[in-house]
Amino acid sequence: MSKFAFLPFVLLTILCWGNYGVLMHQGKESMGDALRPFVGVGFAYFAIAVVVPVVLLRTRGEKGNWSTGGVVLSMLGGALGALGALGVILAFSFRAEPIYVMPLVFGGAPVVNTLVTMGLAKTVERIKPIFLIGIAMAALGGAGVLVFKPAKTLMLSPTIGAELAEEVVKPETPPSAPLNYPMIGLSIAMGLCSWGAYGPVLHKGQMKMGGSRLRPFLCVGISYFLIAVAMPLVAIPVLSSTGQWTTVGMIWSLAGGAAGAIGALGIVYAFNFGGKPIFVMPLIFGMAPVMNTVTTLTENGSWGQIDIKFVIALAVTITGAVTVLIYAPKPSAPPKPAAEGAGGHHSRQ
C-alpha cells in the first residue's frame, strides 16, 4: 500500500468541511437562527453515520470487532467534535467577533492535536523542528486566509456546528455592556481543545476496534445526534428564539450535516489507510479554510478583491501543509528477523 494512500480521504474531508459552512449558511438564512439548522445536522448524522453503518454491518460485516474501550473512545471523539462546535457557539453568544474567534480556534487546534497525539503515541523523540514549523505555518496561514479573504463571508468550522455560531441567538445583554472576556476565553479554549483532541481520540478508538471503519463512525454519529438534536431542542424554547422551522432551511441544513458526516468518514478512512492524527488533522485544519474561501469567493464573485495579504496567507498555508506531509514522524521500523543460523539454529558443520 502506498504511503500516500490516505491522501484521497484527507482531500475528501477538506472538500466536505470546506463547503459545509456555505450549506449551513443557507439553512440559517431560511430559518432565522443558528440552532434550528443544528437540528438538521443532527438528523443528517443519524442517517449517514448511524443508520448506514448499522445496515452495512448487519448485511456485509467488516473486519475488526466491538470493544468497550473502542466504543467509549469513539463516542468521546464524537462528543469532542460536537463540544468544540458548542464552544464556538458560546463564544459568539458572548458577542465575540468571528474575525478573532475563528483564527484563534484554527491556530490552536492543530497545536493541541500535536500535543495530544504525541502524548498518546509516545513519539516525542521522533518530532523534528521543521515538522512543528510546518504545523505552525498551516495553522497561522489558515487563520490568515479567513482574516484576509475579501468581503464578509461565512467562517468555516472543521467539524460540526461551528458555522452556526456566527449568528447564534445572543443573550439579552445591552449593546453597551462590556464583553465578558473570561467567558469568551473559556469558550474559545473549549472549542480549540475539543477539536484538537478529536482526531487522536477517534484514532485510538478505531485501533481498539481492530481497525474497523464503520464501528467508530457509528459511535461518532450517535454522539453527534445526541448533542446536535437534544441540546438545541432544549435550548430553543429557553432562549425564546424568533426563528422558525422551514422546509427549505431543513434541506440546506441536512445537506450541511451530510457534508460534515462524510468529512468525518473521510478522517476514519484516512486513519485506516495509514494516516496518523499528527499530520492528517493539521492538513485538514490548514486546508479546509482555503476550500471554504474558494467556494465563498466564487459564490460572491469577489475574486477581484483579493489583496497581497490574502495571497501570502494562502501560500503560507499550502507550504505548511506540504511541510507537515513531508516531515511527519515516521513509525519505528519493525525489528529485523534473526539471521538464519543464529541462536539455537546453528548451521551444520
pLDDT digits (tens, 9 = 90+) for 312-324: 988 888 888 888 8
Q: Is the pTM of this model over 0.85?
A: no
Average pLDDT over residues 20-49: 83
Q: Which residues neighbour 275 within 8 Å (Cβ) at sequence distance 6 or greater?
A: 6, 7, 9, 10
Of the given ranges (170-184, 200-214, 296-310), which has the lowest mean pLDDT?
A: 170-184
Q: Which residues neighbour 98 within 8 Å (Cβ) at sequence distance 6 or greater?
A: 92, 155, 165, 166
Query: Greater confidence, 89 or 58?
Result: 58
Q: Which residues neighbour 108 within 8 Å (Cβ) at sequence distance 6 or greater?
A: 139, 188, 192, 193, 196
**pLDDT in the model for residue 216:** 95
Of the given ranges (45-54, 143-152, 287-296), which has the lowest mean pLDDT?
A: 143-152
Spatial distance between the Cα atoms of 318 and 145, rounded to a whole number of angstroms: 11
Query: Greater confidence, 73 or 23?
Result: 73
Q: How does pLDDT run across 217-244, given as a tens digit for each residue?
A: 999 999 988 988 888 888 878 766 677 8
**pLDDT in the model for residue 191:** 87
Confidence of residue 156 (pLDDT cuts 50, 70, 90): very low
Place of cell 484554527: 106
Of the given ranges (2-11, 98-107, 158-167, 252-261), which has the lowest mean pLDDT?
A: 158-167
Average pLDDT over residues 186-206: 91
Place of cell 504525541: 118
Please state, for a pLDDT cut of 90, what percent of the chain lies above it: 28
Query: Greater confidence, 258 or 174?
Result: 258
Q: How far is CA 59 from CA 53, 129, 204, in A?
A: 10, 48, 26
Q: How does pLDDT run across 243-296, given as a tens digit for each residue?
A: 789 999 999 989 988 998 999 999 999 999 989 888 898 888 888 878 877 887
Query: Greater confidence, 159 or 177?
Result: 177
**pLDDT in the model for residue 169:** 47
